[in-house]
Amino acid sequence: MIHRERVADDVYTFQSDVYAQVNAGAVIGQDWAVVIDTLAFPDETLAIREFIEEELKRKVRYVINTHYHADHSWGNCYFPGAYVLGHALCRDNLDKYGQKSLSRALETDNVFQKTQIVLPHLTLDSGVLELIVSDKTLRFVELPGHSIDGIGVYVVEDEVLFAGDVWMPIPHTVDGDPDIMRQSLRKIESMTIENVVQGHGEVILRGEVGSSINDRIAYLDMIEKIVEESSHDDFPGEFLKEKTVEICGKSRILLGGAAEEIHQQNLRHLYREKYNEDPNYLDS
């Protein structure tokens, strides 16, 4: 069952119980509501909709995708009357890769049988866009780095930021860029924040914002250093494998146990990017 939390009046988060502690959110207006990200598994998405429609008696009018990845956008289709909003590059990427990865997922998991890829109807590129929901202003903030299309949603009156995956317990850079991620995190640091809803994991409170950003940036620094060191080894793949997530100061139980996998993906990806080849393993 999804875990629901109220972070401010009429502002909620919903955390997946089945996939990597991914978060969605909702802002509830007088007559209608906005959903921020959708989770991936239909049952969980439908539980969010049921809460908003049945318990709070509001229709979902807008769904915002912070980026195009499956765990944030595959639930779009379960809000059939809503307008979907995302970065123009979110629409491009979902258009390019969404159907392919859905078909791949369907080969092993028929839970997605009724899922359809719904592309954003409204897109933003640069400049300022605000969505007014009764007495709340949702301001869109470009936050690339985890992916090129990343946006955050800042609830101005409550100083709550839905950051998307640019902010996770362990940075994930495989589809992004560490430098751009650092810039986005520094940009968040300059904002006035009461709570940050990370793309995955626990809500960050005001007093933890600075240290949490420094922690993410320290991790990025460290994986870059490790990749650089690995290049001097005969078997960089083995070298990277030994540099576990714990060595990089992170617990392996983060993200529902996906931490080490994500960490190793980061290392291998960075290596490939930097040296234009796969890291060499003993058995290959």
- Kindly list the residues in this chain that would bind Zn ion in the complex (CB under 5 A): 69, 165
Q: Looking at beta carbons only, is 38 or 230 nearer to Zn ion? A: 38
How far apart are CB 40 and Zn ion at their closest, in Å? 11
C-beta of 199 vs 279, nearer to Zn ion:
199
Residue 35 token pair: 């959903």
Residue whose beta carbon is closest to Zn ion: 69
In the bound complex, what is the minimum distance in angstroms from residue 266's beta carbon to Zn ion? 13
- Quote the least distance from Cβ 220 to Zn ion, whole Å: 16
Q: Nearest distance from residue 149's CB to Zn ion, in Å?
A: 10
Q: CA-CA distance, 256 to 264, in Å (whole number)?
A: 16
Closest approach of Zn ion to the CB of residue 67, in Å: 6
Nearest residue (CB) to Zn ion, 265 versus 280: 265
Nearer to Zn ion, 10 or 165 (CB): 165
Cβ of residue 3: shortest distance to Zn ion, in angstroms? 19
Select 28 or 223, whichever has its Cβ closest to Zn ion.
223
CA 176, 182, 184, 185 torsion: positive or negative? positive
Minimum CB separation from Zn ion for residue 50, in Å?
25
Which CB, 69 or 182, lies closer to Zn ion?
69
Identify which of residues 49 and 172 has a Cβ nearer to Zn ion in the complex: 172
- Please enumerate in sequence order all residues whose Cβ is within 8 A of that of 187, keeping only pairs 6 or more positions apart, or say none: 141, 143
